[in-house]
Amino acid sequence: MDPCAEEIQRLIGALESLVDGDLAVEQLAACGPAAIPHLREFLLHGRVRSIPQPRMRAVEALALLGAKAVLLEYLTAVKTIPDAQLRMSEEAVENTAARKLSAWPDEEVFEALVGVCRRHLLPGAIESLAKCERPEAIPCFDRALEDDFCRAAAEDGFRKLGLPARPALVFSGVKPLPDSEEETPSSLRRRRSALALLSEIGIDEENWLELRGLLSDPDPEIAVRMAQFAGGTGIPEERSVAAAHLISALPQLPWYLWKDAETALRALAPESAPWITGEIARRSSAPVIRRAADETLRMLLRIQSKIAK
C-alpha cells in the first residue's frame, strides 16, 4: 500500500479516539485531496455506529477539504436503518453534513437541502436553509414549526425573511390541522409559533382581517397574540373582545407570557379597563388566603394602576 494511503487509513482509524479524534480531522485535511476517497468510503460505506462522533469527524474533515460533492452524496443518499438507536446516531452525522454544506449556498445545495427536508426534517438542514434567506424554503420552515427539534431554526429562517414571510405565517396561524375540532398538539405549537413571529414582524390591516377570527380561539397563548394585534386596530369592539378573552385566559397563561399579556392589556386601554375592573372585583371577593396567592389578581392590580396614571 502507498505510504501516504497507509497514513490516511491510520488517521481515519484515529477518528475513533477520544483523545486524538479532533487532531486527526486536522491531519486528514492536511493530507489534501488524496484523503477524500478514503473519507468517502468511510462515510458512505462504513458501519453506522451508536456513537456518531467518528463519522461526524469524517464529515468535518471532508468539509475542510472542500469535498462538497461527497457531502451532498452522503446527505441525499436514502438510508434504511431499522434500529432506532443507530438511526438517531446517524441523524447527528446527517445534521453535521447539512450544516457544513451551508458553506456552499448555491442552487445545487439549496435544492438538496429542500429535498432532504421533504423526506425527513433535519435541524441542520433547516439551519442551512435559513442562511440561504430564500422564500422558496418557506414550506420547509412551516412544517418545521411543528417539530420540537427544528422549530428554533425554522423561526430563525422566518425572521431572516421578514415581511415576505408574512402571508405564509398568517395562513399558518389560522390553519389548525387536521381541523379546529381535533387539532393535533404539533399543529397548535406551529400556530403559536407563527403568531409569535407575526407579533415580531408586524401585521397590516389586511392581515388583521384574516386573523380576527382567532379572537375566540380557546388557546391562552393565542389569546395573548390576538390581544397584541388588536392593540394596533382602531375598532373599539374588537379591542374590547380581545381584552375580555385575554383576561379570561390569564389563569392558564404560562409565566413566560405574563409580560406580553400585561403590555397587551395596557395597549388595549381604555377598552380593557372595564374588564380589568370587573375581574379585580370578582377575584377580590374570594377569601383572604386565596387572594394572597392569586398571581392573576396581582397582575391586574398592577395593570390597573398603570392605566390610571
| 212 lies in some domain | no
Does residue 41 share a domain with residue 10?
A: yes
> What's the rounded Cα separation, in Å, for the pair 109 and 129?
9
Give the DSSP letter of residue 142. H
Does residue 182 share a domain with residue 167?
A: yes
Tell me the three cell numbers of residue 137.
424554503
> Which pLDDT score, from 0 to 100, does residue 62 have?
98
> What's the rounded Cα separation, in Å, for the pair 24 and 16?
9
Does residue 154 share a domain with residue 232?
A: no
Phi, psi of 148 (to 5 degrees): -60, -30
Tell me the three cell numbers of residue 285.
371577593
Does residue 115 share a domain with residue 93?
A: no
Among candidate residues 179, 162, 168, the one with its CA nearest the CA of residue 145: 168
Does residue 234 share a domain with residue 168?
A: no
| 288 lies in some domain | yes
> Which pLDDT score, from 0 to 100, does residue 234 have?
85
Does residue 144 share a domain with residue 82?
A: no
| 207 lies in some domain | no
> What's the rounded Cα separation, in Å, for the pair 238 and 244?
10
Torsion angle defined by CA atoms of residues 118, 123, 125 and 131, in that order, rounded to the nearest 10 degrees: 120
Tell me how many domains the chain contains: 3
CA torsion sign, 190 to 195 to 199 to 201?
positive
| 209 lies in some domain | no
Does residue 243 share a domain with residue 223?
A: yes
Give the burial string for 117-133 (b: 16+ CB within 10 Å, else e). beeebbbbbbbbbbbbe
| 180 lies in some domain | yes
In order of 157, 215, 222, 264, the CA distances from 296 in angstroms are 35, 21, 18, 15
| 119 lies in some domain | yes
Give the end of a domain, one of 168, 202, 236: 202
> What's the rounded Cα separation, in Å, for the pair 58 and 209?
52
Does residue 60 share a domain with residue 82?
A: yes
Does residue 114 share a domain with residue 192?
A: yes
Tell me the three cell numbers of residue 115.
429535498
Give the end of a domain, one of 82, 102, 122: 102
| 15 lies in some domain | yes
Does residue 4 share a domain with residue 98?
A: yes
- Helix axes of 36-45 and 3-14: crossing angle, nearest 10 degrees: 40
> Which pLDDT score, from 0 to 100, does residue 19 have?
85
The one-letter amino acid at 223: A
Owning domain of residue 185? 105-202
Does residue 109 share a domain with residue 98?
A: no
pLDDT along the chain (309 residues), means of 10: 78 90 93 95 93 96 97 94 93 97 96 95 97 96 97 97 97 94 96 97 95 95 97 92 96 94 95 95 92 92 87
Does residue 194 share a domain with residue 125?
A: yes
> Which pLDDT score, from 0 to 100, does residue 5 have?
83
Give the end of a domain, one of 176, 202, 228: 202
> What's the rounded Cα separation, in Å, for the pair 193 and 172?
9
| 53 lies in some domain | yes
Tell me the three cell numbers of residue 71.
457531502
Q: How many Å separate Cα 288 from the centre of its chain?
A: 43
